[in-house]
Each structure stands twice: as structure tokens, then as C-alpha cells.
Amino acid sequence: MIKVYALALAIGFVGLLVMIMGGALAENLGRVDKDPGERFGLFGKMMVGVTVGFGMGGISAEYSPLDLAWPVSLLIAIAAAGIVALWVGISAGRSSGR
């Protein structure tokens, strides 16, 4: 399962870089319509956050000194993904002025 968490973390990290660098490039070029954060909206931001949260939660649980079984690590990873999705939804709602 560590490989699954590592792959999810890597994909999420690349998605996060695309969101940040693409947003900065779109802003510098004056093409806000090309901003990945605007194009993919809240769902895209949540998917990037969920992927990073799942990967980080799973790897953290797998390398825990408590020697957890893989189903427990999976539950922790899913819980981390859910918490991150909630946090992204709340913070994106605040930043958009809702």
C-alpha cells in the first residue's frame, strides 16, 4: 500500500504545482481565463487536496511507530482525504467572498 500512497502523493504534488505555477503564469500574462484554479473550479482544487491528503495520511500511517495494520492505515488515509476536502471547501469559499 505504500506504493499507492506514494503515487497518490506524487500525483497530488504535481497537481498542486500545476495549480500554483499555472495560476501565476496566467496572472502574469493577463489571461485569467487560463488559470487552472478558475478553469477546474472548486472540484479541481478539492481533487488536488484530496490526492495530497490521501497520500500524506497513508504514508504517515504506514510509517507510524505504532505498527498499524494496512486496513487501519487505509482508514486513516481516507479520513485525511476527507478532512482535506472539507478544509479546501471552507477555505476556497472564504477566499472567493462567499
- Is a pLDDT exceeding 70 seen at residue 96? no
- Give tens-digit pLDDT for 75-92: 999 999 999 999 998 988
- Residue 17 and residue 23: Cα distance in Å, rounded? 10
CB 47 within 8 A of CB 89: no
- Give tens-digit pLDDT for 13-69: 999 999 999 999 998 998 888 889 888 888 999 999 999 999 999 999 999 999 899
- Is a pLDDT exceeding 80 seen at residue 93? no
CB 49 within 8 A of CB 85: yes
Q: Which grid coordinates belong to 40? A: 477546474
In which region does residue 67 sit, left (phi positive, over 0), alpha (psi from -120 to 50) or beta (all else)?
left
Burial 59-73 (b: 16+ CB within 10 A, else e): bebbeeeeeeeeeeb
Q: Which grid coordinates belong to 93? A: 469559499
Q: Which grid coordinates belong to 14? A: 504535481
